[in-house]
């Protein structure tokens, strides 16, 4: 079961704000008037050790105290509103759940997702209200895939609208041109299972990995208008656009920009050795 945290947060913000506003408009004035009357009735109300002070405290609790639900709403609304604005329009935290982006991202990496690079969107509805930019080839993005529109996925943009993307013999081409590769940890011919290479797309370089014991899953596709073709950096161990299709622009959440912590499980110790920008 997937929890729709943005919707829950929106409900909490709206609910606490509504309670606080209704109390301020309807009940706060009469409550202040009752407090003033009690202070007139007990002149020494501000001296707790006196008889007036003790009677004032008792009467205040019985007739003029702020309801607990209003107190909680007033206390939590500013914090909830701050978190809501931060997550909806600026940055949202995200944990890497699988190995599909190895070696760039590892299971347990906590990352920050920039929510405004590709335009401002209404929370929950996902409707774009301000266009600030488009995903570029080579960007690492978080999005909702076509087959699971309530689950976050993270992959790399390989094809933008109109691109012709092909994968043959574990070599990637875009618009008929090979994407430059430089093998680092191994070479495809040396018999090792995994080969790690440096790939360049969109002017940026990033690490990728192939599994030489698995078939290449060759394909060729033209990216539709308003869509993006996504692939994991762990090329032969990734469920991506080769499996479930192209991603509509409206379903892109934001750009993954930095790792801020690594914490693989509750039984492990958090570490900060992988902190840094995401290539």
Query: Which residues are CB-neighbours of 128 under 8 A, at least 6 positions away?
Result: 119, 120, 121, 250
DSSP 73-131: HHHHHHHHHHHHHIIIIIEEEEE--SSTTTTTS-TTEEEEEESSTT-EE-TTT--EEE-
Q: 5-22 vs 68-85: helix axis angle to the nearest 10?
A: 130
Q: Catalytic: which of 16, 100, 238, 241?
A: 100
Q: Catalytic: which of 16, 88, 115, 155?
A: 155
Dist CA 138 CA 84 (whole Å): 29
C-beta separation of 176 from 159 below 8 A: no
Which is nearest to 155 in space by CA: 232, 266, 67?
232
Which is nearest to 261 in space by CA: 135, 111, 114?
111
Dihedral pair phi/psi, residue 59, rounded to 5°: -65, -35
Please report, for residues 71, 103, 139, 165, 274, the alpha-carbon distance to residue 136 in angstroms, rounded to integers and kept in the order given: 47, 20, 6, 14, 24
Is 178 among the residues known to form the active site? Answer: no
Is 224 among the residues known to form the active site? Answer: no
Tokens of 44: 């020494």
Dist CA 189 CA 33 (whole Å): 85
Mind telling me the catalytic residues? 100, 155
């Amino acid at each position: 079961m997937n929890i729709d945290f943005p919707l829950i947060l929106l409900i909490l913000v709206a609910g606490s704000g509504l309670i606080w506003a209704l109390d301020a408009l309807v009940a706060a004035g009469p409550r202040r008037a009752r407090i003033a009357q009690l202070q007139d009735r007990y002149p020494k109300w501000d001296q707790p050790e006196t008889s007036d002070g003790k009677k004032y405290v008792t009467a205040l609790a019985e007739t003029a105290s702020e309801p607990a639900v209003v107190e909680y709403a007033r206390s939590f609304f500013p914090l909830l509103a701050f978190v809501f604005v931060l997550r909806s329009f600026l940055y949202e935290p995200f944990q890497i759940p699988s190995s599909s982006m190895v070696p760039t991202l590892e299971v347990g990496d906590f990352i920050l997702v920039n929510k405004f690079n590709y335009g401002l969107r209404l929370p929950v509805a996902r409707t774009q209200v301000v266009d600030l930019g488009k995903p570029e080839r080579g960007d690492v993005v978080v999005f909702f895939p076509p087959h699971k529109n309530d689950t976050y996925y993270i992959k790399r943009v390989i094809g933008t609208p109109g691109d012709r993307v092909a994968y043959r013999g574990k070599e990637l081409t875009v618009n008929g041109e090979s994407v430059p590769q430089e093998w680092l940890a191994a070479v495809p011919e040396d018999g090792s299972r995994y080969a790690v290479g440096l790939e360049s797309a969109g002017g940026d370089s990033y690490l990728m990995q192939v599994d030489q014991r698995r078939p290449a899953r060759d394909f060729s596709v033209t990216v539709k208008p308003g869509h993006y073709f996504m692939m994991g950096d762990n090329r032969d161990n990734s469920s991506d656009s080769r499996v479930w299709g192209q991603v509509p622009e409206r379903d892109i959440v934001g750009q993954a920009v930095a790792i801020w912590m690594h914490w693989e499980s509750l039984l492990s110790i958090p570490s900060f050795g992988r902190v840094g920008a995401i290539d």
